Amino acid sequence: MTAAAILARGARVPSAFAGAALAAAAVLVLGGCSVGPDFVRPAPSEGERYTYRPMAPSTVAADNQVQRFEAGAQIAADWWHLFNSREIDALVKEAIADNPSLQAAQASLRQSQENLRAGYGVFYPQINAGAGATREQFSAANFGQGSSSKIFNLYTLNASVSYALDIFGADRRAVEGLSAQVDYQRYTALGAYLALSGNIVNTVVAHAAYVGEIRATEELIALLKDQVHITEVQAQAGTAPYANLLSLQSQLAATEATLPPLRQRLDQADHLLAVLTGHAPGERAAPEIDLADLTLPTDLPVSLPSELVRQRPDILAAEAQLHTASANIGVATAAMFPRFTLSGSFGQLSNSGGTLLQSASNVWSFGADLTAPLFHGGALWHQRKAAMEAYQASLASYRQSVLGGLEQVADSLRALEHDAESVEAQARASDASRQALKLLEANYEAGVASYLQLLVADAQYQQVSIAYVQAHAQRLQDTAALFVALGGGWWNKDQDVVGNR
């Protein structure tokens, strides 16, 4: 019910007075303004590259694979599909459905949306209804009269309406801040979604690498044990110095010492995958994935820095917080200006239930209230100054988020460049050690090389294999890190990935 409706229902209110009141209210509403700054999105970065030294268009060839950087290309929404692993696809899907951290972020988003809907209520009249029945005793002695007290019943039925005229935009700025909080929670949820998918891929790669390293280390230990046995026999026969035996025993012990940490990391990867998919570590085992089964994405999209600030969830979340801080300046500024409220009520009041609804029992009121701050000891002024400083702090945090995002992309691009060089070098070392092993095997079969020499060559090959597994896994992980650093392509997905409503 509006103030106009209240005036229309009050039969005893002159129509001329009602018209004047409505005209005054219309002037106040239409002439209202929102004090404080209007939020303007920070301008994107003007740079066109992430690193000071220009990037090559592609990495060097490693394992016959070249990764090409495509500036401005679109990022696939489900970028993890590029690794061509059904196990990764299934794990990411399960994690998105059951991960508690993502569910908490989605619930926080829905909470902020409901808070915004509740905030819109300030733009509507506040209507309340009431009814009451009381029995009272009245004594005229309280007013200096000597008559006896009276006992009577009092029945009331009323409706009241109040409407705050948001002349200086305090309510509009408050709702603007709530809307910015919805944006913040949405981008926070998108950040959780992006981090979750990235952690799944990273953990799967690490799990596969640990399995490969453990397998190669176990083979190396078996070879070293054979070397120790042969050298021990030679030392006892006096054909080899005892120092050789001690050296091999030390190498064997050092290699065996690397197994427990690897197994621990493998167990941690198992546990992490279970938790990321919403399960307790004891409820499920990690899928068996071989590192060789994962495809290395070769065509890598690279967004321009100006686009990055509009697609990374953490940067967009920082921008939403900046928007909230801007709106708070308007709220603090509006608090320094007068506030107007229209109110009215209509009801019935009678000491008899039978006459409550008769026209003689009608009561009504209409009024306008003005509240103007005159002196608050400087509190309002300093609250506005505090809001302005909060905006500056949010602006600095936003700039830091942008710089951090640019840094992560630059690090990922350079990492892929160096990863390819490392894999290429490890591949050459692996080929050389394999060729040396094959040559010693031929010599051993021909009787011109000893079994101990063959074992040494085999052990060297296993050591090189371990280094190659580590380099290959790092290349896969840094590829996933680039997709995450660029924002993950969530804006290219057909449906809202965080359940925004």
pLDDT digits (tens, 9 = 90+) for 18-61: 443 444 444 444 445 889 899 999 998 778 889 989 889 999 99
Tokens of 185: 């929670």
pLDDT band at 445 (very low <50, low <70, confident <90, very high): confident
SS3 164: strand
CA dihedral 176, 181, 182, 186 (to 10 degrees): 140
pLDDT in the model for residue 87: 94
In angstroms, rounded to a whole number, what is the distance separating the alpha carbons of residues 3 and 434?
91
Q: Which of 188-202, 250-264, 438-452 is least confident? A: 438-452
The pLDDT of 369-380, averaged and rounded, is 93
CA dihedral 413, 415, 419, 422 (to 10 degrees): 130
pLDDT band at 135 (very low <50, low <70, confident <90, very high): confident
Residues forming CATH 1.20.1600.10 domain(s) in the chain: 38-124+167-207+281-336+379-492
For the stretch 250-300, pLDDT in tens is 989 999 999 999 999 999 999 999 999 999 999 988 888 999 999 999 999
Q: Which of 105, 276, 312 is nearest to 189 (CA)?
A: 105
In angstroms, rounded to a whole number, what is the distance separating the alpha carbons of residues 97 and 493?
16
CA dihedral 124, 126, 129, 134 (to 10 degrees): 180
pLDDT in the model for residue 356: 78
**β-pairing, 299-302 with 68-71?**
parallel
pLDDT in the model for residue 305: 92
Quote the pTM value: 0.86
Q: Which of 4, 469, 492 is nearest to 213 (CA)?
A: 469
pLDDT in the model for residue 30: 43
For the stretch 376-396, pLDDT in tens is 999 999 999 999 999 999 999
pLDDT in the model for residue 384: 96
In angstroms, rounded to a whole number, what is the distance separating the alpha carbons of residues 240 and 234?
5
For the stretch 402-439, pLDDT in tens is 999 999 999 999 999 999 999 999 999 989 998 988 88
CATH classification code of 38-124+167-207+281-336+379-492: 1.20.1600.10
Angle at the Cα of 106 from the Cα atoms of 100 and 109, rounded to 5 degrees: 145
pLDDT in the model for residue 390: 97
Does pLDDT of 75 surpass 90?
yes
Q: Which of 470, 472, 440, 445 is nearest to 458 (CA)?
A: 440
Q: Cβ contacts of residue 54 below 8 Å, gap of 6+?
A: none
Does pLDDT of 10 surpass 80?
no
Given a contact cutoff of 8 angstroms between Cβ atoms, the answer to whether 75 and 482 are in contact is no
The pLDDT of 232-255, averaged and rounded, is 88
In angstroms, rounded to a whole number, what is the distance separating the alpha carbons of residues 335 and 340?
12
pLDDT band at 231 (very low <50, low <70, confident <90, very high): confident
pLDDT in the model for residue 419: 95
Q: Return the higher-pLDDT residue of 239 and 107.
A: 107
**What is the overall mean pLDDT for the chain?**
88
pLDDT in the model for residue 141: 64
Does pLDDT of 147 surpass 70?
no
B/e letters for 336-348, b = 16+ CB within 10 Å, e = fewer, are: beebbebbbbbbb
